Amino acid sequence: MALSKSHRVLCNTVNYFRKESAIVRFLHKTLQCKKCLTPETVNPNFRGLEYAITGPLLQKAIEIEREISQGHKKKFENVMRLNIGDAQSLGQPPITFLRQVLTLVTYPDLMNDKTFPEDAKLRARNILEKCPGGSAGSYSDACGMEIIRRQIAKYIEKRDNVASHWRNCMMGQGAADMAKKFLTILQLSKDGLETGILNPVPEYPFYSSTIAELGLKRIDYFSDEDNQWNVNINELQRAIDEAKSRCNPRAIIVINPGNPTSHVLTKENMEEIVKFAFRENLIIIADEVYQNNVIKDDCDFISFKRILNDMGKPYSDMELVSLMSVSKGVFAESGSKCGYAEVINLDPEIPPMFVKSLSASLCPSVLAQTTVYSLVNPPNPNEPSYEQFEHEKNSIIGGLKMSASIVEESIHSLEGMSCNPIEGAIFFYPRIRLPQGAIEKAERMKLSPDEFYAMELLQETGICVVPGSGFKQKPGTYHIRMTLLSDPNMVHKIMERFKKFHFKFMKGFSP
């Protein structure tokens, strides 16, 4: 940017010759590019960051949406963005009670409005009384309002039947935000080795992206598709043993219920993982944001905290970070962007450091915190909103269950396609055995085979999914991740479109 006079003269000279030789072109570029921040001088961890969920497929989907809005004719009326776990964007209605509390906190004049129920007013008053100046327009404490954190602790205690202290429950701008902050505190170069983080594959790409951005080392371990995506401990051991020469493993990420895999880990498998983490002196980072999305009747969500506690000493003293969000489950307020971490058994000197870092950014949005308050403090049976809340909740959970059956039935009817049962979370992640012809065509197009399949699916049907390559997968296996909707009628229609496409696609590549 800063060009001295002599530089400019040289530039002009160089300009004259610029088409003449590669060397001169190089010189010219060197002289012109005096920006302070360039791809060469950027934080090297930012080079090559990827985030598949909003990657090429979504970009293509947006392009198609634009064309449709400009009147271009397509084989379908609209794009279905099944690439993201964003329930309300796909028609899941918000929970009325949560929105009422939020509205009253935002606009206290409505406290006198008789159409708002007393239990919502009570929650809103509780919040406003604790806001400095009585307004949600004030900052809260760095980890969120004490009244909400106390309610989070109660919610966890009720879930696990294990004590929870509110000071261990820290709110942030989403579970991902808290995970990132926690991973940051693990950054350490020791004996020339960086911190290594065990990361499940298929993975939630937020983690690999964040691990890369923070300069940490990723240690991928494969979940076992043949065993309902549980974790084989030999595989964990293989992964960590191979990694020890290149990094210093310090934490293991476990996503349960799974994303993209929608499995629920068995109690036995969780105990094995805990024992492994103990042997290897790893902190467990348990991403449990789908804890309220379990839809299989014979499945129960068990928190890692509960497992540690039930296993007794020494396991119950292990360091654990458990993540939860208001973006998923029945409430599904993704747009609110709020979540929390419960951290237990940390060295007592660590949380104050963490809080000081959070303090500099002041606090998570108070409005967003208010949505968490409803998540952890919903109407109870003797309150006026209880009936409506239960109805709305059951309708969503019931819808997800029916949708899951429709999906499973459809998938099983299709040649070359299989899928583990959908137990929790809000995705299905079928495996596709692609014909050799399709694989070869994808290679010619410089796409991974499942990316090619997903691109064809999008262009033929408007259904936007994420190819398995975006989550990493065992070499030679191909998958797609689709979001499960709570509206079974819509899921039925989508699966009809999908089945037709798949049949045609497979037929087109049959030998």
Considering only residues 200 through 239, tell me which ones interact with its own copies, judged by CB under 8 A.
Answer: 205-206, 209-210, 213
> Is the distance from CB of 281 to CB of 440 less than 8 angstroms?
no
Least distance in Å: CB of 433 to its own copies? 31
Q: Does 437 bind its own copies (CB under 8 A)?
A: no
Of residues 279 through 318, those in contact with its own copies by CB under 8 A are 279, 281-283, 314, 317-318
- Written as six digits, the tokens of 346 are 């940390």
> Is the distance from CB of 397 to CB of 268 less than 8 angstroms?
no
Q: Which stretch binds its own copies (CB under 8 A): 100-108, 161-169, 391-399, 451-459?
A: 100-108
Task: Tell me, letter by letter, the H, E, C secondary structure of 430-454.
Answer: CEECCCHHHHHHHHHCCCCHHHHHH
The alpha carbon of residue 460 and the mean position of all alpha carbons in its chain are separated, in whole angstroms, by 28
List for the chain the helix, strand, coil content (%; round to 5): 50, 15, 35
By C-beta, is 162 or 212 nearer to its own copies?
Answer: 212
Of residues 47 through 76, those in contact with its own copies by CB under 8 A are 47, 49-51, 53-54
Return d(Cα 132, Cα 147) in angstroms, integer: 13
Secondary element (H or E) of residue 68: helix 56-69
Return d(Cα 162, Cα 155) in angstroms, integer: 11
By C-beta, is 139 or 503 nearer to its own copies?
Answer: 139
By C-beta, is 94 or 421 nearer to its own copies?
Answer: 94
Q: Which stretch binds its own copies (CB under 8 A): 30-38, 68-76, 218-226, 449-457?
A: 30-38
By C-beta, is 35 or 75 nearer to its own copies?
Answer: 35
Q: Does 78 bind its own copies (CB under 8 A)?
A: no
Among the listed residues 37, 69, 114, 446, the single contact to its own copies using CB under 8 A:
37
Residue 129 region, left (φ>0) first, then alpha (ψ -120 to 50), else beta?
alpha
Q: Does 199 bind its own copies (CB under 8 A)?
A: no
Residue type present at position 431: R
Of residues 147 through 166, those in contact with its own copies by CB under 8 A are none
Among the listed residues 21, 59, 138, 405, the single contact to its own copies using CB under 8 A:
138
Q: Which stretch binds its own copies (CB under 8 A): 92-100, 431-439, 471-479, 494-502?
A: 92-100
Least distance in Å: CB of 281 to its own copies? 5
Residue type present at position 336: S
Q: Which stretch binds its own copies (CB under 8 A): 66-74, 89-97, 154-162, 442-450?
A: 89-97
Of residues 317 through 336, those in contact with its own copies by CB under 8 A are 317-319, 332-336
Q: Which residue has the tokens 């030999």?
A: 234
Among the listed residues 14, 80, 142, 447, the single contact to its own copies using CB under 8 A:
142
Of residues 250 through 269, those in contact with its own copies by CB under 8 A are 250-251
Q: Does 91 bind its own copies (CB under 8 A)?
A: yes
Q: Does 111 bind its own copies (CB under 8 A)?
A: no
Binding mask 164-193 for its own copies (x = CB under 8 A): ---------xx-xx--x---xxxxx-x---
> Is the distance from CB of 452 to CB of 440 less than 8 angstroms?
no
Reference 432, options 225, 222, 232, 262; nearest CA is 225
Number of residues in contact with its own copies under rule CB under 8 A: 103
Of residues 342 through 361, those in contact with its own copies by CB under 8 A are 345-347, 349-350, 353-354, 356-357, 359-361
Q: Which stretch binds its own copies (CB under 8 A): 99-107, 221-229, 454-462, 493-501?
A: 99-107
| Radius of gyration (C-alpha) of the chain in whole angstroms | 26
**CB 35: neighbour CB atoms within 10 A?**
11
Among the listed residues 56, 94, 416, 421, the single contact to its own copies using CB under 8 A:
94
Return d(Cα 326, Cα 332) in angstroms, integer: 6
Reference 261, options 54, 471, 22; nearest CA is 471
Return d(Cα 350, Cα 60) in angstroms, integer: 45
By C-beta, is 185 or 445 nearer to its own copies?
Answer: 185
Pairing of strands 193-201, 247-255: parallel
> Is the distance from CB of 188 to CB of 194 less than 8 angstroms?
yes
